[in-house]
C-alpha cells in the first residue's frame, strides 16, 4: 500500500542524512503480500523480458499490483480459506446482485406508474413518424470488382423473385441476408425516424405502403430488399418499443425525483476527489471523504472506486480523460443507484434461492478457472501438508507462472476487481515506493546496456576467420618462391 508523504520534518531528529537514506531501506523490495516478497530485481526482470511491456513507472505499478493479486489469491488457497463462502460471494458478485435487486425494485415502480394508452402501437404506426421494416442485404465490400458487384446483384434479384413468388420474407432474411446481426431477427431493423439510414435505403423505406416490398436497392453497403410489414405484424414490436421509450423516460424522471427528495448535492471538491481516486486508487481505496451528500447518507471516495472498478477496464481508462461535467454526471448516477438500492432493501427485495445458487456457481467457476490458469493444483490446499510448505509451493507455482509470462507461454489474467478488493480487504499487502523506482532503474539500465552491446556488435569491424591448420596441408609458398 503506497505511503503518504507525512512526517518528513522528522528526518533531522531521526538522523537521516538524506531522502536516499529514508528510501534505501526498502529499495530492494518492490511489493509484499501475504508474507511473500517481490524484489526490485525480479520486477525489473519481468518488465524487461516480457514482450510488449514498456519500462515505465506505470508498468511497474501494473505488474506489481498483478503480482499482489495473484499472491493474495494463491496464498489464500494455501491457507485453505474458503473463497466461495457466502460473504465472499456477496462481496465479489455485488454488481450482479445490485443489478437484480435494482431491476426488481424498478419493475415495481413501473408497474405502478407505467400505463400506455390503448391503441398506442397502432397510433404510432399510422402517425408515420417512425418506421419499422425488415431488410435482406447482399454485401459488396469496398474495392470489390465489377464481377463481384454483378454477382451480388444477381443474388439479390433471385431472392426478390422468390419473395414475389410467395416466399416468407423473415425466413429468407434469416438464411440469405449478409447483415448477420439483423438476420438473427428475421431481418428487422430497429424502429427509426426519417433520415436514419443512407439516402437510397431511407428513400425506399419511406416510399413503401403497409405490407409492401421494395425492388433491389443499391447502397454503399451492397444490395438491399426492404419490406414494410403491416401494423398487425409488428404490433408486439411497436408495443415493446413504446414501453422501452416510456421506461427510459420514467427512469429519468424517477432518478430526478430521488435527487430532489433526498437533497442530493455534490461537494465543492467532488471533481478533485474523483480525479485523485482515479489517478491513485490504491491510496484512496478506503477513503471516507464524501463526494456527494444526501439525506440519510452520502457517497464516498471508497464508494466511487467500488462502482467504477465493477465496470469494464476500458471504462476506467475513459474516465481519465472525462470532463468535469461528465464526472459530475457519472457520480450523480452512482449516487442515485445507491439510493435506489437502499429503497430496494427497505422494500425487502432480495434474490431468490435459485438466483443466489446461480451466482455462487458462477463465482466458483471463476475461482476454479483462475486457479487452473495460474497452475495452482489441489495440492496447494492439501491438509496433509503443513501450512508453511503449502505457502512455499504456492509461491513456487506463481514464480513459474511469471516465468511463463516472460517467455510468452502464458498471458496475464487480471483478477476481477471485485475479487481483488475482497482479497486485499482480507489480506496484508504493500507496495514499496523505493522498490518500484529501483526496479524501473534496473530494467532501464539493462535495456541501455543491451542496446549499447547490440550497437557495438554491429559497428565492430569483422575479423577474418582464422585459417584452418592441418598437418596434412602445407601453406602455399609466396608466389615465385620455392615449395
Length of the chain in terms of residues written:
483
**Residue 143: what pLDDT?**
87
As a whole number of angstroms, the distance between CA 81 and CA 427 comes to: 11
Query: How many percent of the chain have pLDDT more than 70?
Result: 87
Q: Residue 135 pLDDT more than 80?
A: yes
As a whole number of angstroms, the distance between CA 222 and CA 157 comes to: 12
Lowest mean pLDDT among 308-317, 367-376, 445-454: 308-317
**Residue 112: what pLDDT?**
63
Lowest mean pLDDT among 67-81, 258-272, 357-371, 440-454: 440-454
Q: Residue 467 pLDDT more than 50?
A: no
**Mean local confidence (pLDDT), 232-245:** 89
SS3 457: helix
As a whole number of angstroms, the distance between CA 213 and CA 205 comes to: 9
Q: Residue 465 pLDDT more than 60?
A: no
pLDDT band at 246 (very low <50, low <70, confident <90, very high): confident
Q: Residue 468 pLDDT more than 50?
A: no
Q: Residue 39 pLDDT more than 60?
A: yes
394: left (phi over 0), alpha (psi -120 to 50) or beta: alpha
Q: Residue 201 pLDDT more than 90?
A: yes
**Residue 250: what pLDDT?**
78
- Listed in sequence order, the residues at least 6 apart from 94 whose beta carbon sits closer than 8 Å to its beta carbon are 310, 418
**Residue 266: what pLDDT?**
95
**Mean local confidence (pLDDT), 304-320:** 83
**Residue 200: what pLDDT?**
96
Backbone angles phi, psi at 336, to 5 degrees: -65, -40
More confident residue, 14 or 62: 62
- What string of DSSP letters covers 183-210? HTTTTBPPPB-TTSS-HHHHHHHHHPPT
Q: Residue 243 pLDDT more than 70?
A: yes
Mean pLDDT (the chain, rounded)? 85
**Residue 24: what pLDDT?**
42
Is the pTM of the predicted complex or chain greater than 0.75? no
Q: Residue 290 pLDDT more than 60?
A: yes
Q: Residue 122 pLDDT more than 60?
A: yes
**Residue 270: what pLDDT?**
95
Q: Residue 476 pLDDT more than 50?
A: no
**Residue 474: what pLDDT?**
31
Backbone angles phi, psi at 38, to 5 degrees: -110, 110
CA nearest neighbour of 94 among 102, 104, 106, 83: 102
pLDDT band at 416 (very low <50, low <70, confident <90, very high): confident
Beta bridge partners of 39: 29
Asked whether 201 and 224 are in contact (CB, 8 A), the reply is yes
**Residue 23: what pLDDT?**
37
CA nearest neighbour of 301 among 263, 266, 342: 266
Backbone angles phi, psi at 79, to 5 degrees: -85, 0
Residue corresponding to grid cell 428475421: 186
Cell of 116: 400506455
Q: Residue 471 pLDDT more than 70?
A: no
**Mean local confidence (pLDDT), 287-306:** 94
**Mean local confidence (pLDDT), 370-397:** 92
As a whole number of angstroms, the distance between CA 328 and CA 271 comes to: 7
For the chain, helix, strand, coil in percent to 5 are 60, 10, 30
Tally the C-alpha atoms within 13 A of residue 427's C-alpha that lie toward its C-beta. Answer: 27
**Residue 461: what pLDDT?**
60
pLDDT band at 97 (very low <50, low <70, confident <90, very high): very high
Domains and CATH numbers, the chain: 8-87+360-445 (no CATH), 133-228 (3.10.50.40), 263-346 (no CATH)
As a whole number of angstroms, the distance between CA 439 and CA 445 comes to: 10
Amino acid at each position: 500500500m503506497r505511503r503518504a508523504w507525512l512526517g518528513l520534518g522528522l528526518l533531522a531528529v531521526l538522523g537521516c542524512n538524506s531522502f536516499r537514506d529514508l528510501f534505501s531501506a526498502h529499495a530492494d523490495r518492490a511489493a509484499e503480500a501475504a508474507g511473500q516478497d517481490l524484489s526490485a530485481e525480479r520486477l525489473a526482470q519481468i518488465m524487461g523480458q516480457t514482450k510488449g511491456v514498456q519500462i515505465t513507472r506505470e508498468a511497474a505499478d501494473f505488474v506489481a499490483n498483478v503480482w499482489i493479486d495473484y499472491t493474495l489469491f494463491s496464498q489464500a488457497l494455501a491457507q485453505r480459506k474458503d473463497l466461495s463462502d457466502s460473504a465472499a460471494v456477496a462481496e465479489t458478485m455485488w454488481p450482479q446482485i445490485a443489478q437484480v435487486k435494482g431491476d426488481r425494485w424498478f419493475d415495481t415502480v413501473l408497474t405502478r406508474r407505467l400505463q400506455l394508452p390503448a391503441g398506442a402501437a397502432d397510433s404510432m404506426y399510422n402517425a408515420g413518424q417512425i418506421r419499422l421494416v425488415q431488410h435482406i442485404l447482399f454485401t459488396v465490400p469496398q474495392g470489390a470488382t465489377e464481377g463481384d458487384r454483378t454477382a451480388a446483384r444477381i443474388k439479390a434479384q433471385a431472392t426478390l423473385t422468390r419473395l414475389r413468388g410467395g416466399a416468407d420474407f423473415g425466413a429468407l432474411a434469416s438464411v440469405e441476408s449478409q447483415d448477420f446481426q439483423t438476420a438473427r431477427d428475421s431481418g428487422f431493423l430497429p424502429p427509426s425516424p426519417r433520415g436514419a439510414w443512407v439516402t437510397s435505403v431511407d428513400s425506399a423505406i419511406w416510399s413503401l405502403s403497409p405490407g409492401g416490398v421494395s425492388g433491389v436497392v443499391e447502397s454503399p453497403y451492397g444490395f438491399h430488399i426492404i419490406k414494410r410489414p403491416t401494423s398487425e405484424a409488428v404490433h408486439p414490436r411497436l408495443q415493446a418499443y413504446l414501453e422501452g421509450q416510456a421506461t427510459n423516460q420514467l427512469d429519468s424522471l424517477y432518478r430526478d425525483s430521488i435527487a430532489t427528495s433526498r437533497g442530493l448535492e455534490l461537494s465543492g471538491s467532488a471533481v478533485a476527489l474523483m480525479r485523485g481516486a482515479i489517478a491513485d486508487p490504491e491510496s484512496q481505496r478506503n477513503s471516507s471523504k464524501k463526494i456527494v451528500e444526501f439525506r440519510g447518507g452520502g457517497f464516498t471516495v471508497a464508494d466511487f472506486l467500488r462502482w467504477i472498478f465493477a465496470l469494464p477496464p476500458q471504462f476506467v481508462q475513459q474516465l481519465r480523460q472525462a470532463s468535469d461535467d461528465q464526472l459530475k454526471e457519472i457520480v450523480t448516477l452512482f449516487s442515485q443507484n445507491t439510493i435506489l438500492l437502499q429503497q430496494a432493501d427497505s422494500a425487502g427485495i432480495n434474490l431468490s434461492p435459485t438466483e443466489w445458487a446461480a451466482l455462487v456457481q458462477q463465482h466458483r467457476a471463476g475461482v476454479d478457472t483462475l486457479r487452473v490458469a495460474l497452475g495452482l493444483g489441489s495440492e496447494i490446499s492439501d491438509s496433509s501438508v503443513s501450512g508453511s510448505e503449502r505457502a512455499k509451493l504456492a509461491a513456487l507455482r506463481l514464480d513459474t507462472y511469471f516465468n511463463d509470462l516472460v517467455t510468452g507461454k502464458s498471458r496475464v489474467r487480471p483478477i476481477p476487481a471485485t475479487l481483488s478488493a475482497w482479497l486485499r480487504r482480507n489480506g496484508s499487502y504493500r507496495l514499496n515506493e523505493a522498490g518500484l523506482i529501483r526496479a524501473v532503474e534496473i530494467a532501464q539500465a539493462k535495456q541501455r546496456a543491451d542496446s549499447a552491446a547490440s550497437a557495438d556488435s554491429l559497428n565492430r569491424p569483422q575479423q577474418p576467420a582464422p585459417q584452418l591448420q592441418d598437418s596434412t596441408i602445407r601453406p602455399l609458398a609466396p608466389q615465385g618462391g620455392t615449395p
